[in-house]
Amino acid sequence: MCGFVGIALTASGAAPTEARLAAMCDTIVHRGPDDRGILTRAPFGVGFQRLSIIDLAGGHQPIFNETGDVAVVCNGELYGFRELREDLIALGHRFRTGSDVEVLVHLYEEYGERLVDRLVGMFAFAVFDWRDARRPKLLLGRDRLGIKPLYWSCDDEGLRFASEAKAILADGGPRRLRTTALLDYLVLGYVTGEEGAWEGIRRLPPGHLLSWSPGESPRLRRYWNLPLDGPRAAADDDEILEWVDRAVGDRMIADVPLGAFLSGGVDSTAVVTSMSSVSTEPVVACSVGFAEKRFDELDTARETAARLGLVHHTAVLDPDPTLATTVLPWHFDEPLADPSTVPTWLVSKMAREHVTVALSGDGGDETFAGYRRHLFDVAEHRARALIGGPGCRLAGWIGSWYPKLDRAPRFLRAKSVLQNLGADPARAYFDSLCQLSRAHAVELLAPELAAGLSAHDPFDAFGELYHAPRGSEPLYRAQYADFHGFLPDRILTKTDRASMGNSLEVRVPMLDHRLVERFAHLPTTEKVRDGRGKHALRRALRSRVPSSVLDGTKRGFDTPLREWIRGPLARTVANALETLPADWFRPDRLRAALAEHQSGARDHSNLLWSLLVLEHWRRRHGVTGLAG
């Protein structure tokens, strides 16, 4: 697990200086504190920060082919690399190291861009090819599901790329937030899509390659996608367990201490249970609890650890909300308002005291449909079918007049359900992802800015994704959109930045692309049944995991936002609202939202947290204004 930076110059006879590359590397030392490698060879320059995991002595990067005219750097881990290595040796390739990354350079020699078809893992890589001296070539690639990040920018000088956007910013250029990204952020709490947050800096999308040569425009090609056709056949329990065991086993290879995150939830319990079944030594597991008992799953984790004989490290955390204004703005160099970044950072820091690699259960909810919004989506589709078009329109009309009762008992808070029944299904699901409606977000913006955004709706990009698998059941359409937005842009970004900020590698077996291909498109009845999600996975795990885990309440990695903002963060939030640019927001609307929250009249915790994060991100990265 590592990080890299690079510059490719249009002037093919020139090379970037080592000083430029070193300055870029300095911003991502946390991703790889063990070793640095810098190479300049016209027209390319690359810098690499290594966190040593496999072949500790011999895995220095960049890694070259036998003849020295192809080189590669890679952030991530390639599973099954030993089998690939044997196949390549049989084809005549010679290896100098035991590193998993070396297979990349030889795969490229053998298969060109089709090398990605043979990769299993999480990765972002850059290949430098000087074999044609008149037309040197750069190839960038990102793993299928976006577990590892990769950013790039292009101008007249050439192309820059890096594992984090801050490294590209360190080489100069504007520090402006895209205007449409601001609206997307207010609505969703994160910035989604290929363009990202920064003017002129793009994300390489998951499952894509980018190729470039001097004098040419970058060429992007998608090499993988989720299934777009109808549902897969139902799976039996043995098949599910075999796939989980295979994915976990592939991710247990390391030359450094390896363990797992363990909560009281289904996915992490499935992972550590599988690890224990194949490990010859007791598995190391790290768990955290919280003083706020409604967020705490530590007792369940302890039961699992005792049952499996784990080496169990625990800590009760008092989540420090000031992390959002100090440490996290540097590591999250695009604004991300997910409050669970705080406990994710803390559990990563705690785990790094014991292991260098940790397996997690991330991705299980996306693959097997485990979020509450998945349950509601299925229920709403069934209700629409039951009451028909006229009934849906009536429900929507009632919902538009129904009061918003934030403080009422749950059964009286029917406004969103009624509105969803009357809405387009794609729009209804999108609303379940949002922390703020577009209309409310626009009301907060300065009038001139709001007018300039009149044609932009964050839903539009989501709607295209939702409708892409046209022959599929509605729940899979929702999952497909999640896999292309919510998962890489929020969940995996959070995990990557929080773990790599602590020099910890996190592996995610539930996002093995082969497992996802097989199970994400199961029939809806295999995913949601009897008011619970992940039905097929829960059923398969009954032979391994007790009902206290399988049938327990899903808590997630939540935080007491409302109490934070009314307590230790009250003054900090108020100060942040006062310093947000007046040409971005209407100060009176922001003050009104804060006053309503502090009085208890309304719960604006998500909005106020997102504004706090935005302002401290803006300050930390020296954002000079808006673009576009």
Domains of the chain in start order, with CATH, are: 2-222 (3.60.20.10), 240-314+340-369+484-550 (3.40.50.620), 560-622 (no CATH)
Give the phi and the psi of residue 126 in degrees, each rounded to 5: -135, 130
CB 141 within 8 A of CB 215: no
The partner residues of 121 in beta bridges, in order of sequence, read 78
Whether residue 214 has a cis bond before it, omega within 30° of 0: no
pTM as predicted: 0.95
Q: How far, in Å, CA of 320 to CA of 347, rounded?
A: 12
The pLDDT tens digits for 177-205 are 999 999 999 999 999 999 999 999 999 99
Helix (H, G, I), strand (E, B) or coil at 443: helix
Q: How far, in Å, CA of 240 to CA of 244, rounded?
A: 6
The pLDDT tens digits for 517-548 are 999 999 999 999 999 999 999 999 999 999 98
The pLDDT tens digits for 326-354 are 999 999 999 999 999 998 999 999 999 99
Q: How far, in Å, CA of 622 to CA of 616, rounded?
A: 10
The pLDDT tens digits for 103-112 are 999 999 999 9
Q: How far, in Å, CA of 467 to CA of 481, rounded?
A: 9
The pLDDT tens digits for 9-18 are 998 789 999 9
User: pLDDT band at residue 291, thresholds of 50, 70 and 90?
Assistant: confident
H or E, element range at 154:
strand 151-154
Helix (H, G, I), strand (E, B) or coil at 224: coil
pLDDT, residue 368, reads 97
- Tell me the residue type at 409: P
Average pLDDT over residues 104-127: 98
Mean of pLDDT over the chain: 92
Q: Is 559 or 206 the better-scoring residue by pLDDT?
A: 206
User: pLDDT band at residue 414, thresholds of 50, 70 and 90?
Assistant: low
Helix (H, G, I), strand (E, B) or coil at 259: strand
Q: How far, in Å, CA of 158 to CA of 523, rounded?
A: 47
User: pLDDT band at residue 413, thresholds of 50, 70 and 90?
Assistant: very low
